[in-house]
C-alpha cells in the first residue's frame, strides 16, 4: 500500500501544486474540501488528469483534516495504490430522506461478495438519514465494517456536494468496497461527552423525531435542562447538548445524537439519526480536554485492534469528526487531530473531515452505527505477508 498526500491551502489554487502527480498510478483518490473548493469549475477534470487510472471520490466538509491539523477552505487529496487489495466503487443519487434505507440496500447489493472486507461511504449530509442508510447496507451485508461520514457545508446547512470521478453534485451517496485477505482494517469511535441529569425513556418517536420522553413533551423538557440562556439559541445551541443513548447493561456512551431542529408546534426534537422508542437517553455536555481525550481513546481502540507488527507499517487513518466538536473546541480543534497522530505514529497518514454524521463500528465490534459528536477513525493497511 502506497500513500501520497497533497494539500492546497485556502490561499492557494490548484495551479500551485507541482506539475506532476506524486502517485500517478494510484487506483483510489480521496478528496475532501469546502463547498467553495468543490464549486471550482475545473476541479474534477484536473484531478482526473492528475490521477488517470484512479477512482476519485470525496465530499465537502465543515473542516478538512490532514496530519498537521484542521483547515477551512482547503483541499486535501490522498492518493492510494493498493498492492493486493481489490476495490469496487458505486454511487447512487438519493431522491429524499425517506428512501435512505432502500438506497443503502441498493449500493450494498452492487458491492456484495464473499471477499468484501470493509466499505467506505461518503454521503450527502442534508438529505439522508444516516441511521436508515446503514440499516439498508446491513440488511444486505450483515456486520461488514462501514466507515465514512455525511458531508458538511461549513455549518451553513444549505447544500453539500459529493465527488465521483468527473461528476460533482449534491444528493449522492458513494460507496467503496474493499476486498481480499491482504486488507487489514481497524476502527475507533469515542466522543468524550459526559452525561448529566436523570435517565429518560423515549416514549414516543418516529425514526429521528422525538415527541415524548418519560411521557412528557420532549421540547419543554429539553429546554428546562439546558437553561433559558441556551434555550433561546435553539436549535443551534443544541450542538453543545447532544443526547447520549445508554444501551441496556452498559455504562459507556457508544452513541450520541445531535439536535438538528425543533418544532414548537408539536414540542418535538429532530436529531441527526434515529432515536428509537424504548431507548434510554441522557443529556450530555463536555469541554475541550474531554473531547481531546475522546479522540485519543478512539486512536487507542485502533492500535489495540491491530496485530503486533502491523502498527509500525504505513497505513491510512480516515478521521471523521463532528462539526459540533469543532464548535466546542473552536481555534483549538487541531488538538484532537494532533492527539490522534501522536498515538498512531508518523508512519500513519491522516485524512478526513468534519461532518454532519460519522459512520463507524461501535467500540470493539464490527457493528457500524451512525455517530454524532464523535471522533471516528477508520484505519486501513495491507498485510502483504498474510
- The predicted-structure confidence for 318-371, as pLDDT tens digits, reads as follows 999 998 899 889 899 999 999 999 999 999 999 999 999 999 998 888 889 999
Round to whole Å and give the CA distance between 144 and 103.
17
Query: Comparing 316 with 272, which gets the higher pLDDT?
Result: 316
162-164/75-81 β-pairing: unpaired
130 confidence band (pLDDT: 50, 70, 90): very high
Contact criterion met (CB below 8 Å) for 75 and 16: no
Residues 265 and 367 both lie in one domain: no
- Residue 25 belongs to what domain range? 2-190+289-382
Q: Which residue has the cell 469546502?
A: 34
Q: Which helix (H) or strand (E) holds 292?
A: helix 288-304
Residue 251 confidence (pLDDT) above 60: no
Residue 292 confidence (pLDDT) above 60: yes
Q: Which residue has the cell 502517485?
A: 23
Q: Which of 133-137, 254-258, 265-269 is the least confident region?
A: 254-258
Q: What is the mean pLDDT of residues 152-162?
A: 92
Count CB atoms within 10 A of the CB of residue 247. Answer: 14
Q: What is the SS3 assignment for 152? A: coil
Q: What is the mean pLDDT of residues 73-90?
A: 97
Residues 12 and 64 both lie in one domain: yes
Round to whole Å and give the CA distance between 335 and 293.
10
Contact criterion met (CB below 8 Å) for 321 and 65: yes
Tens of pLDDT, residue by residue over 87-124, are 999 999 988 888 999 999 999 999 999 999 999 999 99
Round to whole Å and give the CA distance between 198 and 214.
11
386 confidence band (pLDDT: 50, 70, 90): low
User: Of the candidates 235, 270, 285, which is a domain's last residue?
Assistant: 285
pLDDT given at position 194:
86
Residues 174 and 213 both lie in one domain: no
Residue 313 confidence (pLDDT) above 90: no
Contact criterion met (CB below 8 Å) for 64 and 30: no
pLDDT given at position 272:
82
Reading the block at residue 201, the C-alpha cell is 425513556
Q: Is the peptide bond before 47 cis (omega within 30 degrees of 0)?
A: no
Question: Phi and psi of 137, rounded to 5°?
Answer: -60, -45
Instruction: Report the candidate in 115, 201, 107, 125 with the shortest Cα–Cα distance to residue 359.
Output: 125
Round to whole Å and give the CA distance between 179 and 181.
7
Residues 270 and 319 both lie in one domain: no
- The mean of the pLDDT values for the chain is 92
Residues 174 and 29 both lie in one domain: yes
> Cα dist. 105→120, 304, 324, 356, 384 in Å?
15, 31, 29, 21, 32
Residues 176 and 318 both lie in one domain: yes
Residues 274 and 347 both lie in one domain: no
Residues 300 and 159 both lie in one domain: yes
Q: Output Rg (C-alpha) for the chain, integer angstroms.
A: 20
Q: What is the mean pLDDT of residues 183-192?
A: 92
Q: What is the SS3 assignment for 321? A: strand
Q: Which residues contact 295 (CB under 8 A, 6 or more apart)?
A: 190, 192, 321, 336, 337, 339, 340, 375
Tens of pLDDT, residue by residue over 20-66, are 999 999 999 999 999 999 998 899 999 999 999 999 999 999 999 99
pTM: 0.91
253 confidence band (pLDDT: 50, 70, 90): low
376 confidence band (pLDDT: 50, 70, 90): very high
Number of structural domains the chain divides into? 2
Residues 25 and 96 both lie in one domain: yes
Residues 209 and 304 both lie in one domain: no
User: Of the candidates 253, 285, 317, which is a domain's last residue?
Assistant: 285
Round to whole Å and give the CA distance between 328 and 325.
5
Residues 275 and 329 both lie in one domain: no
Q: Which residue has the cell 471520490?
A: 57
Residues 207 and 298 both lie in one domain: no
Round to whole Å and give the CA distance between 60 and 151.
5
Round to whole Å and give the CA distance between 348 and 339.
13
User: Of the candidates 221, 250, 285, which is a domain's last residue?
Assistant: 285
* DSSP single-letter state for residue 362: P
Amino acid at each position: 500500500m502506497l500513500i501520497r498526500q497533497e494539500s492546497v491551502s485556502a490561499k492557494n489554487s490548484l495551479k500551485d501544486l507541482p506539475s506532476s502527480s506524486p502517485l500517478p498510478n494510484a487506483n483510489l483518490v480521496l478528496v475532501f474540501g469546502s463547498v467553495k473548493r468543490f464549486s471550482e469549475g475545473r476541479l474534477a477534470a484536473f484531478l482526473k488528469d492528475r490521477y488517470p487510472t484512479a477512482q476519485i471520490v470525496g465530499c465537502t466538509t465543515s473542516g478538512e483534516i490532514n496530519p498537521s491539523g484542521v483547515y477551512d477552505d482547503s483541499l486535501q487529496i490522498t492518493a492510494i495504490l493498493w498492492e493486493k487489495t481489490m476495490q469496487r466503487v458505486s454511487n447512487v443519487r438519493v431522491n429524499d430522506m425517506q428512501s435512505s434505507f432502500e438506497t443503502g440496500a441498493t449500493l450494498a447489493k452492487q458491492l456484495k461478495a464473499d471477499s468484501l472486507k470493509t466499505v467506505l461511504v461518503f454521503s450527502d449530509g442534508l438529505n439522508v438519514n444516516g441511521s436508515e442508510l446503514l440499516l439498508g447496507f446491513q440488511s444486505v451485508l450483515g456486520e461488514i465494517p462501514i466507515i465514512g461520514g455525511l458531508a458538511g457545508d461549513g455549518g451553513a446547512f444549505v447544500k453539500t456536494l459529493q465527488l465521483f470521478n468527473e461528476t460533482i453534485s449534491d444528493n449522492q451517496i458513494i460507496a467503496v468496497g474493499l476486498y481480499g485477505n491482504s486488507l487489514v482494517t481497524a476502527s475507533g469511535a469515542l466522543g468524550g461527552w459526559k452525561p448529566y441529569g436523570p435517565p429518560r425513556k423515549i416514549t414516543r418517536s418516529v425514526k429521528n423525531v422525538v415527541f415524548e420522553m418519560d411521557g412528557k413533551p420532549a421540547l419543554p423538557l429539553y429546554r428546562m435542562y439546558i437553561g433559558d440562556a441556551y434555550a433561546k439559541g435553539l436549535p443551534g445551541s443544541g450542538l453543545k447538548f447532544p443526547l447520549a443513548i445508554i444501551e441496556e447493561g452498559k455504562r459507556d456512551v457508544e452513541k450520541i445524537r445531535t439536535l438538528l431542529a425543533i418544532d414548537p408546534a408539536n414540542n418535538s426534537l429532530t436529531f441527526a439519526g434515529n432515536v428509537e422508542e424504548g431507548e434510554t437517553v441522557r443529556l450530555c455536555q463536555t469541554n475541550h480536554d474531554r473531547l481531546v481525550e475522546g479522540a485519543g481513546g478512539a486512536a487507542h481502540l485502533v492500535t489495540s485492534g491491530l496485530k503486533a507488527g502491523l502498527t509500525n507499517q504505513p497505513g491510512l487513518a480516515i478521521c471523521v469528526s463532528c462539526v459540533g466538536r469543532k464548535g466546542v473546541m473552536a481555534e483549538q480543534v487541531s488538538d484532537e487531530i494532533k492527539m490522534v497522530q501522536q498515538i498512531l505514529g508518523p508512519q500513519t497518514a491522516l485524512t478526513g473531515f468534519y461532518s454532519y454524521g460519522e459512520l463507524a463500528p461501535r467500540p470493539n465490534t464490527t457493528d457500524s452505527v451512525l455517530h454524532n459528536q464523535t471522533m471516528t477513525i477508520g484505519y486501513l493497511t495491507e498485510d502483504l505477508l498474510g
